[in-house]
Homo-oligomer: A and B are copies of this chain.
Amino acid sequence: MHITPEVRKAAREIKTPFLIMDMDYVRNNYFDIVSHVRNVQVFYAVKANSHPRIIETLRDLGSNFDVASRGEIEKLLALGISPERMSFGNTIKKVEDIAYAYSVGIDYYAVDSEMEVEKIAAHAPGSKVYGRIATSGGDCDWPLSRKFGTDVGHVISIMEYADQLGLDAYGVSFHVGSQNYNVNSWDDAIRDASEVFKTLRAKNINLRMLNLGGGMPVKHVREIKSVKSYGDIINRALDKYMSFVPDLELFIEPGRSMVGNSAILVSQVILRSKKGSEDWVYIDAGVFHGLTETIEGFRYEVLTEGKVDDTKISFHLAGPTCDSVDTIYHEIDLPKNIGYGDILYFINAGAYTTEYATNFNGIDAPRVLFVEDFIDAEMPIERDFME
């Protein structure tokens, strides 16, 4: 997302920190995915950003939803999403939450272990289950395949077990890892998935669905390929490996790639200090207030606005809480004369920011604002500047 005049105006006049979103990006991302991945059904990964405006926008576009908990199911039901449009994609579910999901009418459940199959057979009998394959993780910022998924042979035996317990052995899912830069990861994963389909067909268990997971990257500091490039690779891999399955149903679960580029996190410098030879800048967002992913090394593109100075020097950048873990980056180039009240824009911060926010230190999570609300509108002047 670009810094538009509306964003600049909000940054000047509204109390920071806040996330400012533009739903046009979400709409474009949705169309980009359904245009380039053939016959795909989108299940938006609600955990990336569960703001009602995003859910409503995607609801109206016809999206489905990947949910992680009873809390998310309740939220979606309240927003008028029918249960047929939800998939319970968390492989770690409480039995009472499975029973709840079944009671409201959810039919899709992810599994990667025998126990999860038993839980679903007992509390959501006859439901459609799909087994999650672990991928190599390769070139991604956030691998997800140690805690989640299992090997091809294990997925096969889990799906056979599901069939024995009276469940509908429905499909296979994988996740190549969040922010995966290697387009070939999808080819590898689809080949692995086809093995599961093939082996089980020989045993007369006919899976019908392939779930591509998430993982298409969002632009931060590295260059990324287009959704079309990923779509082309996926379409080719489907032709190559999956054409033996008639009427294959295809799911995809974008989270970051649906909302990541739809927002900017706007924060304000609230202190600058010198400690020995170190220059520190402290802002009003931080690891516990929107920038959680930075503790795992995630790099945002950071732009500044305020005192004009072309010279940049290296700073330590930290959040506002009394906790040393709340240090965002130990090395970031910022304008040499940056000072109180200057603005930092964290670009493409629409995913996994407000969802991870806490109230630690008695400090509220960043608010969420929408660009469309500010066009041609008077803005409340909320900011205080240092004299």
Residues of A with Cβ closer than 8 Å to B? Answer: 45-47, 50, 67-75, 89-96, 99, 112-116, 119, 122, 134, 142-148, 150-151, 154, 270-276, 280, 282, 284, 288, 295-296, 316, 318, 320-327, 339-340, 355-364, 384-387
Shortest A166–chain B CB gap in Å is 15
B361-A47 in contact (CB<8A): yes
Residue with the highest number of chain B CB atoms closer than 10 Å, among A70, A71, A95, A147? A147
Residue of B nearest to A361 (CB): B68
Shortest A256–chain B CB gap in Å is 12
Interchain CA distance A22-B328 in the complex, whole Å: 35
Interchain CA distance A316-B92 in the complex, whole Å: 14
A142-B324 in contact (CB<8A): yes
Residue with the highest number of chain B CB atoms closer than 10 Å, among A92, A93, A116, A122? A92
A360-B364 in contact (CB<8A): no
Provide the residues of chain B in CB contact with A147, threshold 8 Å: 280, 316, 318, 324, 326-327
Provide the residues of chain B in CB contact with A323, threshold 8 Å: 47, 144
Shortest A123–chain B CB gap in Å is 9
A358-B357 in contact (CB<8A): yes
5 A-B interface contacts by CB (under 8 A): A92-B282, A93-B270, A115-B272, A145-B324, A151-B276
Q: Which of B50, B119, B150, B322 is close to A275, meaning CB atoms less than 8 Å apart?
A: B150
Extra 17 A-B pairs, beta carbons < 8 Å, given A95-B270, A113-B272: A68-B321, A69-B320, A69-B361, A92-B271, A99-B384, A113-B273, A115-B339, A115-B340, A122-B387, A134-B275, A144-B324, A145-B324, A146-B324, A147-B280, A150-B275, A150-B276, A358-B358
Q: In the complex where A95-B340, A284-B94, A288-B356 touch, is A362 in contact with B151 (Cβ < 8 A)?
A: no
Q: Which of B93, B148, B271, B384 is close to A96, meaning CB atoms less than 8 Å apart?
A: B384
Interchain CA distance A70-B364 in the complex, whole Å: 10
Q: Which 9 A-B residue pairings sit nearest by Cβ, starting from the closest?
A: A71-B362, A113-B273, A72-B362, A68-B361, A69-B362, A96-B384, A92-B282, A147-B324, A92-B271
